[in-house]
Chain A
Amino acid sequence: MKIITKDNFFNIQTITTSGIILICIFLFAVFPTQGIFQEIIISLIFLLIIPIIYIKLILKKSLADFGVKPFTYRKWKENWFMITILFAVMILIFYFIAQYADFSNEHFAKKIISGKDFWYWLFYELVVVNFFIILYEFFFRGFIMFYFLKGFHFYSIFIQFLLFLLFLDLTNFLNLDAIGYIVVTLPAGIIAYKSKSLAYSYLFSIISIIIGDVIFIKLLS
């Protein structure tokens, strides 16, 4: 079995993979689009399709190596405590952010819900937010973090975090509207790192963000 060390990690494959990551992030930000349809296509292509094709065709690896594993009870038993603690921490963080950050009544969740009923907001959370969380989970935790896990181990969590911030900046989304995504990135990475599965980090992210939005709406209305 070949032991991957830091020395032999930095090879053409790593360079190529890094280039793919940066290209995807960059093209996602600058590719010209018109309309929601094209934006969705862009999201899927650069955050999901290209990484999958690259993994399968170029790297010739299984998606399971990148955290695409089913939810198992055994894994849950091993990690539930950590997830719970992190969740509680998230709630607190959201609370403090909502209390002290200057949202100026312009948080997107409030915008969404104003003039609409509850069911519209729930649809937004479960479909729209869910969609992006899946993409982000796969691309940043799954593709980036799990690839750099071999070379950087625990620090790959921060690598994906930094790259996520870069992504948000390039897409002009690095503002308080995206605070939920920013905050859950690190804990989600930890959970993914620990559980070696995106299922738990995904669950954690979606629940945290929904709860966070509820907190924001409640406190800001």
Chain B
Amino acid sequence: MKKTIKKTFLVTIILLEILALNIYPVQAFSLLGGLLGMPGGVSPNANGMLKQVEERYHLNKKSIQDIGETFNVASQKSKAPEVDLFFNPTSPKFGEKMTATALPKFFQNENKKLYFTWYLKHTDGKNKDLNEDGKINQEDWKIEAMRIIAQNGFIREKANYESDDDNDGYDAQMGKGNNIQQKNRCYVHDFKSGEDYEIAHIKDNIDSPGNDYSRFDCDGTMICSSPYRLSCGGQEGTISVPEQNLGDASSTGGSGGDSGSGGSGGDASVSLTIPEHNETIDYKSITIFDAVTDSEYSPYCKPISESPGKGIATCPEGTTARCITDSRTLNPTCDFIGDMTARVCGTAGAEEGACCSGDLCTRTNPTAFSNPGETGTISCTTQTINDNDIEQSCEHLFPSAHINNTWYDTGDGSFDLNEEKFWGTNPHDPSTANNDNNDEANVAGLGRDKFMWTYLPGDKVGVIVEGTSLSPTKHNDSSSSIMWALPNNIFEKKGDNDCTIHHEHGNKSGGDDGETKYSENIKGYDVEIPFASVNINACLKYNLVDPMKGGQPGNLETELNYYPSNPNKGDILTFSANISNNTTDNSQLYYKWSVYGGDEQSLDMDDWTELSNNADFRNINGIKLLEGLGLDTFDINLNEINNKYIRVFIETEEYYNFGESQDTTRSGKSDVIIKIGSMSDNAMSLQIAGGNDVSNVCSDNGDNCKVLNGQIIEAKLDDSGLRNFSWTLNGKPINYLQEGETTQGNIVRFPIMGNPGDSYVLKVIANDTAGLGESGNAGNKVILTKNVKVVKPSVKLGIINSLDSDSCTASGGLSPLRLGTYNDLNGDTTADCSQSVFVATRNNINVPISYYPANIENSLTDIQWSVNGVKQDNGNIDLSNYPTGSTIIASITARYAPSNRSELSQTWGVSQFETGGKTLSDSIKIRVGTNPQQASGTPTKVIASLIYNLPTQILFLIKIVLTVAIIIFASGIIMSFDRKR
């Protein structure tokens, strides 16, 4: 739209300019033209006028020039029809159904009114000579493809070819446009130059125009002249103005009265005034001559029909083609005319032909000035052809049937039995393919924008789309260009004389562009239309598309994800690879992982060092498998990473069945660069706050953090390089500020008010983003989390055996009673040691005590030991007072209470009743003096073994029940004696 407006405006400006330049003082009395004596009425102020126009309408000269320059080449920027092909599936396998879809563009027609002529080429040697013309070429490709379309799965063996009664002929219109054109105009677009050439050729009986470039038969200068009137000055003089006679003045007196004698009339006087006037008038007499001037139009050579190369010099209407030999006769001056007029007949210098009359020789022949030079039929040579000497070459590109040495055109309105046989359609079904078209229309490809076939490795396809383009022709009718679209837009191939846009003369020397044109008079103007011939069929081999995009199966589209997004040292970084276009099960895909380390933000592999090929690195960072089938996840413990960044690669491979020993693999690759945070989770420490003793609640490696209900925990983050902190507990902000703080710092406190088994997630987000006026914003950032679990405090007497020992460990004179042995799947044995029954191996024993969690040891109060209920001060027991084989019970009670109850109450609002503390206790049995290893024996009897291994409680209940039964039974027996007696 914008372009149209610009063009219109430009044209208007140009018209104005033309108008301004060509204003004639036509009536020869234009003061301007006359005074100045300039031919043609050229106004000396044309530039000024245009400048005024520019200023009036705020037109920028450069902008208009830009528009003009664009306008000059607009005809070469037209949109020619094109077609894109899409394939599904994108990576077909041998024997798989493949669908090619054509997407044409820049046609006037909608798809169902376009002709799609498909062609299918197999690998060399696999196409057949389907039309039996002795050649395997593009026609056979077309036939193979269009047969598939016409049959659409129909099995030709089922057809009865004895007769044809379906009347399924189709008359194909050129271009299948909406308008029925007087004449089909087919064009081909040169994608290099942008020109559209009408597909036509010079008639066979007409010679080629030859290689001469245009020239006129004129020994002088060829111009297009236009006439004008020249005024030249004559005699000058003065004449007097005669007196004006204004006539006589008279007056009549008044008459007297009636009675008496009348008086005499009075005197009357009249004065006449003669108006002022010139006494003399100057005069000048001029002579008008008809002259000619150059109209600035260039004459052209209008071709003569049946005389190729010959023409007549022609100028636009209103101008005359003229050959000027004496330039003075063009735009003659008055002096020149005067000279010519003053020649004396018979004297030297008089021109021949001058008319002599008397003593003067005047050049009265107006042709000397009004018709100088030569006019009339001035011959010339030209390469433009007369439109009567050319023939249109506008034909469909449909495949033709060939049976019994007879060719049958497609789209001729007739589809007889032979054609039905050739194409394999059903002669009793007008639409064998069961679509909107009849059989011949399907062979012509009307609206057939999809083509489905069984893919063989190496197959290539293409399509010729015929339709009416968007470009109108210049002819004086309703015609638009009928054009074809090819997938690769190749209509001309260098080095191939068959696939070329052929111009009849082809001579590009002498300054012309090598085009051949023909001239047609359209609306009174001789319009030159470039034409050429082209063999589109010869270009089909350059317009084949390989569905495999280069002959190889498409890559595996591999996507790599990882978590967490901001890892720090100590975190477990988990990667997962996702492939969106695999054709086999994930377990059949081969994955290979590799880890690189680097300190630069670089994609150049020279800046990265492979880490995963080092066994120590793999061991330290928990990397086990690096490659294997189905290995779509990959973990790495960031225990020891010395680089700022790590780069993880994933390579994937899939076996691909390409058919006929052409199997190959598809592969994919992806990588990701991750910045490793400088802080590990150990940078955050958790301690019990308040009280006299501050101790860590986490193990040495920072994990396994245990806290108790009622404790206040202080979390501290190593704040080197960090400024801003945000602490949350289970996602909720922690409302704690140290004294004097207005924003959270690297230390925060929070109470634990939960039941054993509850867990908390403590998270800190920190960075070094600087505020206004501060410096040192290095982009450091940290996100750390700690899991904290609430546990139940307890004390435990006795020895806690490790789970991988084959014997029960003794300590302090006590040895756990061995209950049995665990045998694992590897054949290793582990001793099952009692945690409540011990055997004393000496007389003085020291009962060991363990605390859970360990940090409560110093927080316990009211610790009381007792042996068999008798209190004592500590865990040292003298067993000499107890008989050997006896069992004593050693027990302990202690009280645990949070040490900072007041802070809990005052700062955190925790009720004192919730922080009252609890009593911890434990007791063990100690057998005096027996060999602990004898306590366990290997039962050999079945029932004994069964009883030995039953759960304790079941055993107890069995004992009770037996006891009760015995008591009742015995009493019943005794009582029965009494009844009998």
B957 and A54 within 8 A (CB): no
Q: How far is the CA of A98 from the CA of B975 in the complex (A)?
A: 47
Query: Hey, what's the 0/1 contact readout for A1-37 against B, CB within 8 Å counting as 1?
Result: 0000000000111011001100110010001011001
A27 and B963 within 8 A (CB): yes
Give the contact stretch, choosing among A41-49, A138-146, A148-156, A195-203.
A41-49
Contacts known (A50-B968, A58-B971); A172 close to B869, Cβ less than 8 A: yes
B978 and A53 within 8 A (CB): no
A37 and B913 within 8 A (CB): no
Q: Does B918 contact A (CB under 8 A)?
A: yes
With most chain A CB atoms within 10 A of its CB, the pick from B913, B956, B959 is: B956
Contacts known (A20-B971, A49-B964); A115 close to B918, Cβ less than 8 A: yes
Question: Which residues 923-981 in B have Cβ within 8 Å of A in the complex?
Answer: 952-953, 956-957, 959-960, 963-964, 967-968, 971-972, 974-975, 977-978
* Interface SS, A side: helix
Q: How far is the CA of A53 from the CA of B978 in the complex (A)?
A: 19
A45 and B974 within 8 A (CB): no
Tier of interface size on chain A = 20 to 34
Q: Does B895 contact A (CB under 8 A)?
A: yes
With most chain A CB atoms within 10 A of its CB, the pick from B916, B952, B964 is: B964
> Nearest Cβ in chain A — how far from B488, in angstroms?
89
Q: Does A85 contact B (CB under 8 A)?
A: no
A12 and B975 within 8 A (CB): yes
Residues of A contacting B971 in the complex (Cβ-Cβ under 8 angstroms): 16, 19-20, 54, 58
Residues of B contacting A84 in the complex (Cβ-Cβ under 8 angstroms): none
> Nearest Cβ in chain B — how far from A109, in angstroms?
15
Partner of A16, one of B917, B953, B956, B974: B974
Residues of A contacting B895 in the complex (Cβ-Cβ under 8 angstroms): 115
Query: Hey, what's the 0/1 contact readout for B671-685 against A, CB within 8 Å counting as 1?
Result: 000000000000000
A38 and B964 within 8 A (CB): no
Q: How far is the CA of A27 from the CA of B963 in the complex (A)?
A: 9
Query: Hey, what's the 0/1 contact readout for B715-750 against A, CB within 8 Å counting as 1?
Result: 000000000000000000000000000000000000
Contacts known (A13-B978, A57-B972); A31 close to B918, Cβ less than 8 A: no
A37 and B918 within 8 A (CB): no
Q: Does A102 contact B (CB under 8 A)?
A: no
Q: How far is the CA of A42 from the CA of B963 in the complex (A)?
A: 11
A117 and B916 within 8 A (CB): yes
> Nearest Cβ in chain A — how far from B379, in angstroms?
131
Q: How far is the CA of A50 from the CA of B971 in the complex (A)?
A: 11
> Nearest Cβ in chain B — how far from A28, in angstroms?
11
Q: Does B919 contact A (CB under 8 A)?
A: yes
Partner of B953, one of A27, A38, A50: A38
A37 and B963 within 8 A (CB): no
> Nearest Cβ in chain A — how far from B271, in angstroms?
150
B964 and A53 within 8 A (CB): yes
Residues of B contacting A33 in the complex (Cβ-Cβ under 8 angstroms): 956
Residues of B contacting A45 in the complex (Cβ-Cβ under 8 angstroms): 960, 963-964
Residues of A contacting B917 in the complex (Cβ-Cβ under 8 angstroms): 115
B977 and A12 within 8 A (CB): yes
- Chain A residue at minimal CB-CB distance from B917: A115
Partner of A34, one of B897, B952, B974, B975: B952
Q: How far is the CA of A71 from the CA of B164 in the complex (A)?
A: 114
Q: How far is the CA of A38 from the CA of B957 in the complex (A)?
A: 8
A41 and B957 within 8 A (CB): yes
Q: How far is the CA of A59 from the CA of B977 in the complex (A)?
A: 13
Q: How far is the CA of A13 from the CA of B897 in the complex (A)?
A: 58
Q: How far is the CA of A24 from the CA of B968 in the complex (A)?
A: 11
Residues of A contacting B975 in the complex (Cβ-Cβ under 8 angstroms): 12-13, 16, 58-59
> Nearest Cβ in chain B — how far from A22, in angstroms?
11
Q: How far is the CA of A57 from the CA of B969 in the complex (A)?
A: 10
Contacts known (A12-B977, A13-B978); A41 close to B968, Cβ less than 8 A: no
B972 and A58 within 8 A (CB): yes
Question: Which residues 639-690 in B have Cβ within 8 Å of A in the complex?
Answer: none
Residues of A contacting B953 in the complex (Cβ-Cβ under 8 angstroms): 37-38
Q: How far is the CA of A45 from the CA of B869 in the complex (A)?
A: 25
B918 and A50 within 8 A (CB): no
Residues of B contacting A38 in the complex (Cβ-Cβ under 8 angstroms): 953, 956
> Nearest Cβ in chain B — how far from A25, in angstroms?
12
Q: How far is the CA of A109 from the CA of B963 in the complex (A)?
A: 34
Query: Hey, what's the 0/1 contact readout for B324-357 against A, CB within 8 Å counting as 1?
Result: 0000000000000000000000000000000000
Contacts known (A45-B960, A115-B895); A20 close to B972, Cβ less than 8 A: no
Q: How far is the CA of A11 from the CA of B897 in the complex (A)?
A: 61
Q: How far is the CA of A172 from the CA of B870 in the complex (A)?
A: 12
> Nearest Cβ in chain B — how far from A56, in angstroms?
10
B960 and A11 within 8 A (CB): no
> Nearest Cβ in chain A — how far from B144, in angstroms?
89
A12 and B956 within 8 A (CB): no
> Nearest Cβ in chain A — how far from B980, in angstroms?
11
Contacts known (A38-B956, A58-B971, A172-B869); A50 close to B964, Cβ less than 8 A: yes
Q: How far is the CA of A161 from the CA of B913 in the complex (A)?
A: 42
B978 and A11 within 8 A (CB): yes
With most chain A CB atoms within 10 A of its CB, the pick from B919, B957, B963, B971 is: B971
Residues of A contacting B972 in the complex (Cβ-Cβ under 8 angstroms): 57-58
Residues of A contacting B974 in the complex (Cβ-Cβ under 8 angstroms): 12, 15-16
B968 and A53 within 8 A (CB): yes
> Nearest Cβ in chain B — how far from A171, in angstroms?
12
> Nearest Cβ in chain B — how far from A219, in angstroms?
22
Q: How far is the CA of A212 from the CA of B659 in the complex (A)?
A: 98
With most chain A CB atoms within 10 A of its CB, the pick from B869, B957, B960, B972 is: B960
Q: How far is the CA of A81 from the CA of B530 in the complex (A)?
A: 139
Query: Hey, what's the 0/1 contact readout for B311-334 against A, CB within 8 Å counting as 1?
Result: 000000000000000000000000
Q: How far is the CA of A213 from the CA of B939 in the complex (A)?
A: 51
Residues of A contacting B916 in the complex (Cβ-Cβ under 8 angstroms): 115-117
B913 and A117 within 8 A (CB): yes
Question: Which residues 839-894 in B have Cβ within 8 Å of A in the complex?
Answer: 869
- Chain B residue at minimal CB-CB distance from A15: B974
> Nearest Cβ in chain A — how far from B684, in angstroms?
34
- Chain B residue at minimal CB-CB distance from A20: B971
With most chain B CB atoms within 10 A of its CB, the pick from A24, A49, A53, A117 is: A53
Residues of A contacting B960 in the complex (Cβ-Cβ under 8 angstroms): 31, 41-42, 45
Residues of A contacting B967 in the complex (Cβ-Cβ under 8 angstroms): 20, 23-24, 50, 54
> Nearest Cβ in chain B — how far from A55, in angstroms?
11
Query: Hey, what's the 0/1 contact readout for A72-96 against B, CB within 8 Å counting as 1?
Result: 0000000000000000000000000
Q: How far is the CA of A69 from the CA of B957 in the complex (A)?
A: 31
Q: How far is the CA of A23 from the CA of B869 in the complex (A)?
A: 25
Q: How far is the CA of A128 from the CA of B263 in the complex (A)?
A: 178
Q: How far is the CA of A49 from the CA of B964 in the complex (A)?
A: 9
Residues of A contacting B956 in the complex (Cβ-Cβ under 8 angstroms): 33-34, 38, 41
- Chain B residue at minimal CB-CB distance from A116: B916
Q: How far is the CA of A42 from the CA of B952 in the complex (A)?
A: 15
- Chain B residue at minimal CB-CB distance from A60: B975
With most chain A CB atoms within 10 A of its CB, the pick from B897, B918, B967, B974 is: B967
Residues of B contacting A54 in the complex (Cβ-Cβ under 8 angstroms): 967-968, 971
> Nearest Cβ in chain B — how far from A123, in angstroms?
16
> Nearest Cβ in chain B — how far from A46, in angstroms?
9
With most chain B CB atoms within 10 A of its CB, the pick from A23, A24, A37, A172 is: A23
Please report A residues at the B interface, Cβ cutoff 8 Å: 11-13, 15-16, 19-20, 23-24, 27, 31, 33-34, 37-38, 41-42, 45, 49-50, 53-54, 57-59, 115-117, 172
The 6 A-B pairs at the shortest CB distance, nearest first, are namely A12-B978, A16-B974, A16-B971, A58-B971, A58-B975, A38-B956
17 A-B pairs (CB sep. < 8 Å): A16-B971, A16-B974, A16-B978, A20-B971, A31-B960, A34-B836, A34-B952, A37-B953, A38-B953, A38-B956, A41-B956, A50-B964, A58-B968, A58-B971, A115-B918, A116-B916, A117-B913
Given contacts A12-B977, A27-B963, A31-B963, 16 further A-B contacts (CB under 8 A): A11-B978, A12-B978, A23-B967, A31-B959, A34-B952, A38-B953, A45-B963, A45-B964, A50-B967, A53-B964, A54-B971, A57-B972, A58-B971, A115-B916, A115-B918, A117-B913
